[in-house]
Structure formats: C-alpha cells, structure tokens
Structure 1
Amino acid sequence: MRILLVEDEAAIVLPLKKLLERQGWQVAAAASVAAALEQIEKTPFEAALVDLGLPDGSGETVCHALRGQGDAAILILTARADEASVIRALEQGADDYIIKPFRAGELLSRIKAVLRRRKGPELLRFGALTVDRRSARAFVGENQIPLTAQEYRLLLVFLANPGQILERGQLLQALWDQEGNFVNDNTLTVTVKRLREKLAGGCGWHIATVRGLGYRWEEEPDA
C-alpha cells in the first residue's frame, strides 16, 4: 500500500515514516502543500496522513486534491483542537483525525480502522436514513442532519452492526475526545441521547437500549 505523509515537522516525519514502513507500506513524504500536490500528480495513493497546518497553505487543499484523484483513505494530523477545523477537514473528504501529540499504537489502530471502514459501501441506507461516508454527512429523506464529529463516529459504529448488541465499553472505544483519550461514560450517554433526538421522526430505525447490556441499532416496530 502507498501512503502519502504530508507533514512539515522534521522531528515527526522520520520516526513516523519508519513506523509506517515497518508495516510493509510504501511512504512518500511531503513538507508542503505544493510538494504534496506534486506527489499526487505523479502517484496514486491508497492512504494519506495530512497535517492541516503547512507552511504554504492548509492541508484541506491536499484533501481536496486526493479526493479528485481517487478514493484514498485520509487521516488528518493536527495540533488544532477546535471542532471547526476538524469539521472542515471532514467536509473536504477526510475519514478521521488525530490530535498531536499522538501515540504510535493509537495512530496505527486508527489508520487500520479507517482502511477497514472504507472497504464498505460509500452510501449507507437504513430506511429513510442515508449516510454518505465520502462527505461525512447524514440525511433523513432530503434533510441533512447536523452531527458533531462524535455523533457521526458513533452513528457509523451502529450502522456497521445492525441488530447487534453493542456494549458501552465497545462504544466508548469509538468515541475519542480531542486529546486522543477515551471519553467517559457520561459523555457516551449524552451523545447517544442527542443522536437519538436528531434521528427521531421519519428515519424508520432507532437506537434501542438493552438494559444491563448496551444498545442496539434496529428498525422501529411499525417501520
């Protein structure tokens, strides 16, 4: 697999390149938007790690170019902890993001998780609900549902496991906070509640509580 690493911090590039190459992946490094665009013109990539803050522009430009080239899995590397930056990157076609500084094992797990997810269909449909994974947007009928990054990530977990009971511990692993740590149990409860409210009315599917066990994504009884 060919990976494009777009990062301008030399202290990060070398160890990260070695880490990825030990997985058997071919890595091309670029330290700027211009260098990344040049690499994209020459080589098709199956995956990319893209820093948002580059010396000659934003990594969002690189995401856009990668989407124009093909269907590479894109994971954002960023020191920007504000949700707006993350949402813009996701809207440009990124699949996931990780906040610096990050742990090597965590990064590899996130890359592999993105690659597994991208093997599935780009459009997920359950009743009137449609999720477009290319743009990280969800719709009930023609109406877009405004989801936060955590709500969107949680929804994907449910859609990947219809009819199955998902324990709270499993769901907590899918909800990373902006510092790269697991969120707490109360945050999960609040996120499930808000996601339920946004999907209510016309979707045909819902998040059911299975007492003492967890949650299950299932059809409404009268759907």
Structure 2
Amino acid sequence: MERILIIEDDEMLNAGLCYNMQAAGYIPVPAYDLKTARDLLHSQRWDLILLDVNLPDGNGYAFAGQIRRDSDVPVIFLTAQDMDEDMVKGFEAGADDYITKPFNIKVVLQRIRAVLNRCGKAKAAEELVCGNLRVNLSEMTVQKGNSPLALTPTEYKLLKTFLQNPGQVLTREIILEKLWDSEGNFVDEHTLTINVSRLRSKISDAQYTYIKTVYGVGYQWIGDREQIGGGNE
C-alpha cells in the first residue's frame, strides 16, 4: 500500500483526510508542522506528500523546494490559496498537482491516484523493486528498506542481472558473460562465487533469501517467494 504524508496543521481536516485515505487503501501519516514533517520525511519512505502552504513554522512552497532538491516523491498542494499566481508558484516549487480548499474528498482521492499512477509508470522505467530492495537504474543506487546499500560495481551488476531475470535459473556461464563488459573487465568462476556470496550476505535477512544456488548449474533469483532456511544453499 502507498504511504502518504499529510502535512496540514488543521487537526480536524488532517484527521478527516487520514480517515478517507485509509478507507481508500492508503497508509496515511499526519504531520501538523514542518519540523515533524522533516523528521518523518528523512526517516521513512513515502509514495506521496499532501502539503498545505500556510503552516505554523514555515511556508509550504519553500518546503516543497527543499523536498524536490533531495527527492522525486510526488507532492500535491492542498491550500486555500486559489489565485492563479499561487498555483504557478506551487508548480514552480515542484508540485505535481494543486488542489484548492474547500474540496470534494472524492476529487482529492482521484487526483492522488492519477499522480501516483503517472509517477509510478515513470519510476517503473528506471527502477527495479523486489521485497525490500529498490534499484534505481538511472542513478545506479540500491536501497534496502529505507537505507542505502553499498555494493561494488560487480555486485551491482549481479543484482541487476538477477532482478531482470526473476525465477530463471542462470548458469554460471550466462552470468559470467553478462559481467564481462565491453571494456574487457574479466570475472572468472572463482570471483563469481565470491561476489555472489558477498551480495547474498548484503541483501538477505531474516525475511528474504533472494538468491538460491542450483548445484552444478548456477543461481536462481527467487525474490520474496522463499524465506531463510528454505533454500539458501
């Protein structure tokens, strides 16, 4: 389920939004000021942010600009400021949509779904996601849960290869061929074994195994279908 951060200082309005978001199948989390919002923003993963403009400890436009410098999480302004210049200012700050008060909650939910669908399709083209792993192909970064995961270039290529071939048994020869790049950087079978072992130790945990050894053949990406103890040979 998508996680939505609702930054709105009107507690009754925030509660009403949370109620309707939850009923629609989202996970809403309220924040009544920017200080709380900043703490939540940096400590958890978010799929969308609903943001008021006038907050007790700051301006929503400025905060949206800060968000956009560090993240591509979608932002929808929810505000009583309905002048054209206010909307322009919101979009210039990086907003994905702008909803004025008073509003119909059904319209808000439709606009949220539209933004999530639009941003989700864009992300799908540049991200590979499985279990608690998220690989950003354009930035060549990996996250495990909410934390960045440091991988060597060879480990990154291995992970990318596995994620792009879920469920398939990849022979050692096929994997070696994919890791031997156009610049002639060579990986032999012994090095492959070591790198798979290192990658497995970094990505697996009590919940996910991810990589299964197929003896005498190669490896299989089992994703989140099998837990530790069920095939991590």
Please, what TM-score do these two structures have when normalized by structure 2? 0.49
Gaps of at least 5 residues in structure 2 are 124-233
Query: Any idea what SS the aligned residue of 1:119 has?
Result: helix
4+ residue runs of structure 1 moved beyond 6 angstroms?
A: none
**Alignment match, 2:5:** 4
- State the shift of 1:104 in Å: 1.0
Preserved CA contact (<8 Å) 1:44 1:69: no
Counterpart code for 2:97: D
User: Cα distance 1:121–1:27, how it changes in 2: closer, same or farther (>3 A)?
Assistant: closer
Preserved CA contact (<8 Å) 1:50 1:76: yes
- State the shift of 1:93 in Å: 1.1
**Alignment match, 1:59:** 60
> After superposition, what is the alpha-carbon deviation per residue over 1:133-159, rounded to whole angstroms, capped at 9, x for unaligned?
xxxxxxxxxxxxxxxxxxxxxxxxxxx
**Alignment match, 2:40:** 39
Counterpart code for 1:29: P
1:155-194 mapped onto 2 (5 Å cutoff): none
Compare CA radii of gyration and give the structure with the larger one. Answer: 2
Give, in whole Å, the separation in 2 of the partners of 1:64 and 1:44: 18
**Alignment match, 1:162:** none
1:65-214 mapped onto 2 (5 Å cutoff): 65-121=66-122
Q: Which has the higher contact order (CA 8 A, sep 6+)?
A: 1
User: Cα distance 1:57–1:31, how it changes in 2: closer, same or farther (>3 A)?
Assistant: same
Preserved CA contact (<8 Å) 1:2 1:26: yes
**More moved, 74-83 vs 19-28:** 19-28
Gaps of at least 5 residues in structure 1 are 123-223
Give, in whole Å, the separation in 2 of the partners of 1:21 and 1:66: 24
> After superposition, what is the alpha-carbon deviation per residue over 1:35-90, rounded to whole angstroms, capped at 9, x for unaligned?
21111111121101000111111112331233234221111101001122211111
Preserved CA contact (<8 Å) 2:53 2:59: yes
**Alignment match, 1:212:** none
**Alignment match, 1:216:** none
Give, in whole Å, the separation in 2 of the partners of 1:119 and 1:51: 23
Give, in whole Å, the separation in 1 of the partners of 2:68 and 2:3: 15
User: Cα distance 1:35–1:17, how it changes in 2: closer, same or farther (>3 A)?
Assistant: same
User: Cα distance 1:28–1:68, how it changes in 2: closer, same or farther (>3 A)?
Assistant: farther
Give, in whole Å, the separation in 1 of the partners of 2:57 and 2:13: 18
Give, in whole Å, the separation in 2 of the partners of 1:15 and 1:78: 15
Give, in whole Å, the separation in 2 of the partners of 1:22 and 1:65: 30
**Alignment match, 1:178:** none
Percent identity at matched positions?
A: 31
Preserved CA contact (<8 Å) 2:47 2:116: no
Give, in whole Å, the separation in 1 of the partners of 2:62 and 2:51: 10
**Alignment match, 1:29:** 30
Counterpart code for 2:90: A
- State the shift of 1:121 in Å: 4.2
User: Cα distance 1:61–1:28, how it changes in 2: closer, same or farther (>3 A)?
Assistant: farther
Please, what TM-score do these two structures have when normalized by structure 1? 0.51
> After superposition, what is the alpha-carbon deviation per residue over 1:81-131, rounded to whole angstroms, capped at 9, x for unaligned?
112221111111110011101011111011111112223449xxxxxxxxx
